């Protein structure tokens, strides 16, 4: 049963399992104690820190273990902001950071701080120059992921780090998705990561803070982990995390090449096999194991459900698969189609046959969903005459219905005529313009609808 | 090799180990995902929450899992204080709470809040009436441990909870030391605990917040654990924590009776076997597995080291075993001797022979340490005449030297004469009065010494 959602959580690496078992026996005691069980635990903790620091590319005394990648980001952002409070309260982040960074930013903003978001292009990448330009007066901290968790696009971290260094702003890199593949290049100041993303156990994050970076840990602290991560150390998991990081690094070149070839196959074949698909994310500068595409006229939840029935576990940034009913902020920032979104992230050792079977199954699954939703074939030839404008009321209807309703009637207006879609679904704002781009129709704009919701206006051009 | 420090971290219970292993295979995926691995993880998480809630005595939707007991306390205190910000900013705690509670209080005080400490008696217990009296105007939250982690004394939680309820103040109970032994009685509002204290794995704490308690989680949050504990759930450890809590509860009555008998033996025999020992903590209302005593004229670090050489792992609240050079705040609040302090906390299944061997070994170890420190025998008969007062300069000398120097010269002054000890070691403030109480001498008082440090005055009475 192929599991294709390694970017959410990778299955436990055999080395992690082995190390975890061994340290359940050797590493359950308090490493702060002086008796033999405590000394043994301390040795394990020290060795794990050395190994993790080497993989990160920092000194052991610059690295602490946290209970998760999310907590590492929260502690890193709040500590770095507080450490530079005198400089200012401006936080600069990319628009496609992981939610943990954005949540930390929300807390900062609620406390009176400023958060500036640097936009991304359609591939999901920030422009290093634009990022540098955002490092205005009073910038206390900048955050940039090493690679995006939803679309796999790598960010220009080294260039941005250089720009940050030039103006004396520390850069926090969220390396959660990439650390298993290699160290983060460039002169970053803080780095956060999460063990269960590389095949380590849950319950372990890393936070590295370079010497010389002003850092003031926030919230209650204790004597553990240099005062940066309170609470009893989760030692067996820490040992397993460090051991598996070393192991996946040793395998990264070979594994990465294999998965990259499989992802290349998906990137190439999906648009050939499935009509009306947009593959998103940078085709070259990307994580080796991750590919994302969106299928027009498909709702993500049904698609995921059908793929699950076929035995494939994938995730989605579509609005209808999240509890918030808004499409993923990453897809929104990229301005790409969000409906029928599928993220495939291959775990180490994925079999070629499983990818082939996925490619066999996908077209039928998408076609089935579209059929049930009553998706129109190509629009009818433009009528010579007819109403110059039509209004479609999709208020209260969820993604992808507003777009499907638009597609159904576009054939009824002449070239030059307009269709206005009334919709209150958040995804429509993203998907109606994306549909226009894919279909070669003109997106005129949106405005508040008197009936409530928004009115999206599309002009037929062909 | 007997490990007698279960109160720091209990060895992993076999059920915890078994459950952890099983859920490494079944519970590594993201419980928020809808595919089969995610659904399986969600089922495990839900079942663990049900089991833990039943053991705590709350509803499943009142309980969240946190990365540690410390983090549960921090989240509970900050969330409850913020939830009642309009009522006031007064936090009431006992003087002997775990450092995680006190650290949360320090952060509250640094942000402008008030923290009131309720004192304890020599047994380590608060008086319920005194606690109730401290619940003054503007009290947002009260915190009381179920039982003390250093001396084992149980607190009158049910009475205090009733007093809190009477004035509408929520009570947070830190049940870290007692939850494995049974549910916390009484009408508490919030409860925190830590799995590795009951034989569960590291990396799991519990926070229960009763419905109706105003609670505003602080810091960044996400959609996990009802917004009260951000970050990917450490599911295998959570499953192991819940399974082992159920298992230790099933064994608690029998196990508790056995350990109580062993602790009773230690409590009775140590003062018979070792001269100048004070057994501290309530002799009856206490945890079954924990006993603490202090040995006059002994330094804690050497004592722990010698016991470790004999194969016994214990901990200590003496100043010289901590990095801060101050005696444990618990011993200070109780006003008991802090030097030569030993905490014995027996893990489940402790063998009677191991306790007997400990009792065999202890007298020689203590005598050896005293001999090396040059401890005087009984004071000489009072001289008929001689200097009416003596000054001993122990500035710069660490515990237990100032007390030993006092003991050496007390015989040189006549009855009615005084010895003044100059000392700058924090433990002297606690241990000189305690020595006087044990020796039947009069403690006159202390004042700033012109030479620096403090001058402690003792009058010979016999």
| Chain B residues with beta carbon closer than 8 angstroms to that of A202 | 28, 232-237
| Partner B, chain A 60-89, Cβ-Cβ below 8 Å | 67-71, 74, 78
Distance of CA A193 to the CA centre of its chain: 13
Instruction: Provide mean pLDDT across the span B35-43.
Output: 95
Measured distance CA(A63)–CA(A169) in Å, rounded: 20
pLDDT band for position B322 (50/70/90)?
Answer: low
Element (H, E) at B70: helix B69-83
Condensed to tens digits (0 to 9), the pLDDT of residues B222-275 reads 999 999 999 999 999 999 999 999 999 999 999 999 999 999 999 999 999 999
Question: Exposure pattern of A115-125 as b/e (b: 16+ CB <10 Å)?
Answer: bbbbebeebbb
A294 neighbors A343 (Cβ within 8 angstroms): no
| Chain B residues with beta carbon closer than 8 angstroms to that of A34 | 301, 304-305, 308, 321
Q: For chain B, what is the domain count?
A: 3
Query: What per-residue confidence (pLDDT) applies to B374?
Result: 87
Residues B353 and B434 in one domain: no
| Chain B residues with beta carbon closer than 8 angstroms to that of A205 | 231
Residues B261 and B239 in one domain: no
DSSP state of B1: -
Q: Is the pLDDT of residue B92 over 80?
A: yes
| Partner B, chain A 253-312, Cβ-Cβ below 8 Å | 301, 304-305, 307-308, 312
B430 neighbors B338 (Cβ within 8 angstroms): yes
Instruction: Provide mean pLDDT across the span A304-308.
Output: 95
B71 contacts A232? CB cut-off 8 A: no
A220 contacts B107? CB cut-off 8 A: yes
- Nearest of A43, A108, A100 to residue A69 by alpha carbon: A100
Query: What per-residue confidence (pLDDT) applies to A319?
Result: 76
Query: What per-residue confidence (pLDDT) applies to A323?
Result: 64
- Would you say residue B384 lies in a domain? no
The CATH number given to whatever domain includes residue B444 is 3.30.110.40
Query: What per-residue confidence (pLDDT) applies to B455?
Result: 95
- Would you say residue A382 lies in a domain? no
Residues sharing a CB contact under 8 Å with residue A70, sequence separation 6 or more, in sequence order? A100, A194, A205, B222, B230, B231, B232
A234 contacts B68? CB cut-off 8 A: yes
- Nearest of A409, A381, A426, A16 to residue A198 by alpha carbon: A16
Query: Look-up: residue for tokens 């082939």?
Result: A356
A33 contacts B5? CB cut-off 8 A: yes
Query: What per-residue confidence (pLDDT) applies to A87?
Result: 96
Among chain B residues, the shortest Cα distance to A33 is held by B315
| Chain B residues with beta carbon closer than 8 angstroms to that of A70 | 222, 230-232
Among chain A residues, the shortest Cα distance to B313 is held by A35
Distance to chain B for A154, nearest Cα, Å: 23
Instruction: Provide mean pLDDT across the span B73-80.
Output: 98
Q: Is the pLDDT of residue B323 over 70?
A: no
Residues A121 and A182 in one domain: yes
Condensed to tens digits (0 to 9), the pLDDT of residues B405-425 reads 999 999 899 999 999 999 999
Distance to chain B for A229, nearest Cα, Å: 10
pLDDT band for position A167 (50/70/90)?
Answer: very high
Residues A144 and A110 in one domain: yes
Query: What per-residue confidence (pLDDT) applies to A462?
Result: 85
Query: Look-up: residue for tokens 């608060």?
Result: B126
**Residue that finishes a domain, picked among A214, A248, A282:** A248
Nearest to A68 among B28, B35, B67 (CB): B67
Q: What ipTM describes this predicted complex?
A: 0.93
Phi-psi category of residue B138: left, alpha or beta, with phi > 0 → left and psi -120 to 50 → alpha: left
pLDDT band for position B324 (50/70/90)?
Answer: low
Distance to chain A for B100, nearest Cα, Å: 8
Percentage of chain B modeled with pLDDT above 70: 98
- Would you say residue B58 lies in a domain? yes
A304 contacts B219? CB cut-off 8 A: no
* B329 CB within 8 Å of a chain A CB: no
Q: Is the pLDDT of residue A149 over 90?
A: yes
Instruction: Provide mean pLDDT across the span A59-75.
Output: 98
Query: What per-residue confidence (pLDDT) applies to A326?
Result: 83
Nearest to A223 among B67, B107, B323 (CB): B323
| Chain A residues with beta carbon closer than 8 angstroms to that of B106 | 220
Nearest to A67 among B3, B37, B203 (CB): B203
Residues B211 and B94 in one domain: yes
**Residue that finishes a domain, picked among B322, B341, B372:** B372
Comparison of pLDDT for B299 and B127, the residue scoring more: B127
CB–CB contacts below 8 A, A to B: 190
Residues sharing a CB contact under 8 Å with residue A123, sequence separation 6 or more, in sequence order? A151, A153, A280, A281, A282, A334
- Would you say residue A383 lies in a domain? no
Residues A274 and A151 in one domain: no
Instruction: Provide mean pLDDT across the span B292-300.
Output: 94
| Chain B residues with beta carbon closer than 8 angstroms to that of A196 | 28, 232
A107 contacts B323? CB cut-off 8 A: no
Condensed to tens digits (0 to 9), the pLDDT of residues B249-263 reads 999 999 999 999 999
- Would you say residue B168 lies in a domain? yes
> Which residues of B are part of the catalytic machinery?
320
Residues A130 and A238 in one domain: yes
| Chain B residues with beta carbon closer than 8 angstroms to that of A29 | 3, 5, 8-9, 313
Query: What per-residue confidence (pLDDT) applies to B379?
Result: 66
Distance to chain A for B357, nearest Cα, Å: 18
Measured distance CA(A3)–CA(B286) in Å, rounded: 51
Percentage of chain B modeled with pLDDT above 90: 89
- Would you say residue A2 lies in a domain? no
pLDDT band for position B116 (50/70/90)?
Answer: very high
| Chain B residues with beta carbon closer than 8 angstroms to that of A35 | 3, 5, 304, 307-308, 312-314
B217 neighbors B227 (Cβ within 8 angstroms): yes
- Nearest of A260, A280, A343 to residue A121 by alpha carbon: A280
B422 neighbors B457 (Cβ within 8 angstroms): no
The active-site residue out of A164, A295, A320, A399 is A320
| Partner B, chain A 347-386, Cβ-Cβ below 8 Å | none
Among chain A residues, the shortest Cα distance to B231 is held by A70
Condensed to tens digits (0 to 9), the pLDDT of residues A25-53 reads 889 999 999 899 999 999 999 999 999 99
Measured distance CA(B317)–CA(B301) in Å, rounded: 10
Query: What per-residue confidence (pLDDT) applies to B452?
Result: 86
Measured distance CA(A43)–CA(B187) in Å, rounded: 43
| Partner A, chain B 14-43, Cβ-Cβ below 8 Å | 17, 20-21, 24, 28-30, 33-38
B326: tokens are 């101050």
Residues A160 and A302 in one domain: no
| Chain A residues with beta carbon closer than 8 angstroms to that of B13 | none
| Partner B, chain A 90-129, Cβ-Cβ below 8 Å | 99-100, 103-104, 106-107
Distance to chain B for A129, nearest Cα, Å: 30
Measured distance CA(A231)–CA(A225) in Å, rounded: 9
| Chain B residues with beta carbon closer than 8 angstroms to that of A219 | 74, 78, 107, 219
Residues A261 and A188 in one domain: no
- Would you say residue B317 lies in a domain? yes
Query: What per-residue confidence (pLDDT) applies to A18?
Result: 96
Comparison of pLDDT for A379 and A31, the residue scoring more: A31
Residues B239 and B268 in one domain: no
Residues sharing a CB contact under 8 Å with residue A192, sequence separation 6 or more, in sequence order? A69, A72, A73, A76, A172, A173, A174, A175, A176, A205, A206, A207, A208
Query: What per-residue confidence (pLDDT) applies to B375?
Result: 86
B400 prior amide bond cis, ω within 30: yes
Element (H, E) at A259: helix A235-273
Strands (E) across B67-156 are located at 90-94, 114-118, 139-145
Q: Is the pLDDT of residue A299 over 70?
A: yes
Q: Coil, strand, or helix at residue B241?
A: helix
Q: Is the pLDDT of residue A380 over 80?
A: no
Nearest to A219 among B17, B219, B323 (CB): B219
Query: Look-up: residue for tokens 């970050």?
Result: B231
Query: What per-residue confidence (pLDDT) applies to B321?
Result: 66
Query: What per-residue confidence (pLDDT) applies to A26?
Result: 86
Q: Is the pLDDT of residue B132 over 90?
A: yes
| Partner B, chain A 132-171, Cβ-Cβ below 8 Å | none
Distance to chain B for A220, nearest Cα, Å: 5
A400 prior amide bond cis, ω within 30: yes
Instruction: Provide mean pLDDT across the span B26-46.
Output: 94
Mean pLDDT of chain B: 95
Nearest to B235 among A1, A103, A202 (CB): A202
Distance to chain A for B55, nearest Cα, Å: 22
Residues B24 and B144 in one domain: yes
Query: What per-residue confidence (pLDDT) applies to B457?
Result: 96
Among chain A residues, the shortest Cα distance to B28 is held by A11
Q: Coil, strand, or helix at residue A172?
A: strand
Domain ranges, residue B417 = 389-459
Measured distance CA(B6)–CA(B21) in Å, rounded: 23
Instruction: Provide mean pLDDT across the span B443-455.
Output: 92
Phi-psi category of residue B160: left, alpha or beta, with phi > 0 → left and psi -120 to 50 → alpha: alpha
The CATH number given to whatever domain includes residue A153 is 3.40.640.10
Phi-psi category of residue B344: left, alpha or beta, with phi > 0 → left and psi -120 to 50 → alpha: beta
DSSP state of B62: G
**What is the DSSP annotation of A97-163?**
--HHHHHHHHHHHHTT-EEEEEP--TTSPPPHHHHHHT--TTEEEEEEESB-TTT-BBP-HHHHHHH
Instruction: Provide mean pLDDT across the span B287-310.
Output: 95
| Chain A residues with beta carbon closer than 8 angstroms to that of B323 | 223
**Residue that finishes a domain, picked among B307, B341, B372:** B372
Residues sharing a CB contact under 8 Å with residue A119, sequence separation 6 or more, in sequence order? A95, A126, A130, A333
Residues B327 and B411 in one domain: no
Distance to chain B for A272, nearest Cα, Å: 26
A67 contacts B5? CB cut-off 8 A: no
Nearest to B221 among A103, A202, A321 (CB): A103
Choose from A216, A217, A231 for mutation: most chain B CBs within 10 A.
A231
The CATH number given to whatever domain includes residue A330 is 3.90.1150.10
Nearest to B237 among A21, A203, A223 (CB): A203
B147 neighbors B154 (Cβ within 8 angstroms): yes
| Chain A residues with beta carbon closer than 8 angstroms to that of B11 | 28
Q: Is the pLDDT of residue A240 over 80?
A: yes
Nearest to A70 among B36, B231, B301 (CB): B231
- Would you say residue A6 lies in a domain? no
pLDDT band for position B383 (50/70/90)?
Answer: confident
Among chain A residues, the shortest Cα distance to B26 is held by A11
């Amino acid at each position: 049963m192929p599991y294709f959602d390694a970017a959410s959580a990778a299955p436990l690496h055999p080395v992690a399992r082995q190390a975890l078992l061994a340290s359940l026996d050797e590493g359950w005691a308090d490493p702060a104690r002086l008796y033999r069980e405590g000394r043994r635990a301390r040795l394990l903790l020290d060795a794990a820190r050395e190994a993790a620091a080497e993989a990160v590319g920092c000194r052991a005394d610059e690295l602490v273990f946290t209970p998760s990648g999310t907590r590492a980001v929260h502690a890193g952002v709040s500590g770095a902001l507080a450490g530079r409070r005198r400089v200012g309260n401006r936080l600069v982040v990319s628009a496609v950071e992981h939610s943990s960074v954005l949540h930390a930013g929300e807390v900062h903003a609620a406390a009176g701080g400023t958060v500036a978001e640097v936009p991304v292009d359609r591939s999901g990448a920030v422009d290093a120059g634009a990022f540098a330009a955002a490092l205005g007066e009073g910038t206390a901290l900048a955050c940039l992921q090493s690679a995006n968790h939803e679309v796999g696009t790598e960010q220009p971290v080294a260039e941005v780090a250089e720009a940050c260094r030039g103006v004396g702003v520390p850069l926090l890199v969220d390396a959660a998705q990439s650390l298993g593949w290699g160290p983060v290049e460039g002169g970053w100041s803080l780095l956060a990561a999460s063990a269960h993303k590389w095949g380590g156990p849950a319950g372990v994050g890393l936070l590295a803070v370079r010497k010389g970076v002003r850092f003031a840990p926030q919230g209650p602290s204790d004597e553990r982990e240099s005062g940066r991560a309170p609470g009893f150390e989760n030692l067996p998991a820490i040992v397993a995390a460090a051991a598996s990081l070393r192991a996946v690094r040793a395998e990264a070149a070979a594994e990465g090449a294999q998965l990259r070839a499989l992802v290349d196959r998906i990137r190439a074949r999906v648009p050939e096999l499935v009509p009306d698909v947009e593959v998103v994310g940078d085709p070259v500068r990307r994580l080796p194991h991750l590919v994302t595409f969106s299928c027009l006229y498909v709702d993500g939840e049904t698609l995921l459900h059908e793929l699950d029935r076929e035995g494939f576990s994938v995730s989605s940034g579509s609005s209808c698969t999240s509890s918030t009913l808004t499409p993923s902020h990453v897809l929104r920032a990229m301005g790409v189609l969000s409906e029928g979104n599928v993220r495939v992230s291959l775990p180490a050792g994925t079999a070629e046959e499983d990818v082939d079977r996925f490619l066999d199954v996908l077209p039928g699954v998408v076609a089935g969903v579209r059929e049930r939703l009553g998706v129109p074939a190509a629009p009818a030839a433009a009528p010579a005459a007819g109403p110059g404008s039509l209004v479609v009321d999709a208020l209260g209807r969820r993604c992808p219905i507003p777009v499907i309703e638009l597609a159904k009637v576009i054939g009824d207006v002449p070239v030059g005529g307009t269709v206005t879609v009334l919709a209150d679904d958040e995804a429509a704002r993203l998907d109606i313009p994306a549909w226009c781009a894919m279909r070669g129709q003109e997106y005129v704009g949106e405005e508040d609808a008197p009936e409530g919701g928004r009115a999206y206006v599309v002009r037929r051009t062909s």
